[in-house]
Amino acid sequence: MKMEDMVLISVDDHITEPAEVFDNQLSGEDYATAPKLRERENGSNYWEYQGMQMGSVALNAVVGRPREEYGFEPTNLNQLRKGCYDVHARIDDMDVGGIAASMNFSSLAQMDGGVYLQAPDKKQSLTHLRAYNDWHIDEWCGAYPDRFIPLGLLPLWDPQLMADEVKRLAAKGCHAVVFNDNPTKRGLPSVHSDHWEPFWKALVDNDTTVCLHIGCGNVSPHPSMESPIEVNIATMPMAVAFGAADWMNLAALHRYPTMKVALSESGIGWIPYLTERADYSHEQHGAWTHSNTYFGDMKPSEVFRRNFTSCFIDDAYGLRNLDLIGEDRVMFETDYPHSDTPWPHAPEVLWKSVQHLSDEAIDLITHRNAMREFRFNPFKENTRETLNVGALRAKAAAKGVDVSIKSQSGERPVTVGEVRPVTSGDVMAMFTRHAEPADA
pLDDT band at 438 (very low <50, low <70, confident <90, very high): very low
Give domain status of residue 120, yes or no: yes
Q: Model pTM?
A: 0.95
Structural domain span for residue 66: 3-183+309-434
Number of domains into which the chain is organized:
1
Give domain status of residue 251, yes or no: no
pLDDT band at 4 (very low <50, low <70, confident <90, very high): very high
Q: Please report, as a single letter, which amino acid is at residue 158.
A: D
Of 375, 332, 370, the residue nearest 203 (C-alpha): 375
Give domain status of residue 91, yes or no: yes
Calculate mean pLDDT across residues 261-288: 97
Of 233, 370, 256, 354, the residue nearest 310 (C-alpha): 370
Share the mean pLDDT of the chain.
94
pLDDT tens digits along 193-247: 999 999 999 999 999 999 999 999 999 889 999 999 999 999 988 899 999 999 9
Least-confidence region, from 6-15, 62-71, 72-81: 72-81
Give domain status of residue 359, yes or no: yes
Of 265, 254, 258, the residue nearest 178 (C-alpha): 265
The enclosing domain of 68 has a CATH number of: 3.20.20
Calculate mean pLDDT across residues 81-109: 97
Give domain status of residue 219, yes or no: no
pLDDT tens digits along 295-310: 999 999 999 999 999 9
Give domain status of residue 190, yes or no: no
Give domain status of residue 278, yes or no: no
Q: With contact defined as beta carbons under 8 Å apart, do 95 and 87 qualify? A: no
Q: With contact defined as beta carbons under 8 Å apart, do 100 and 7 qualify? A: yes
Give domain status of residue 267, yes or no: no
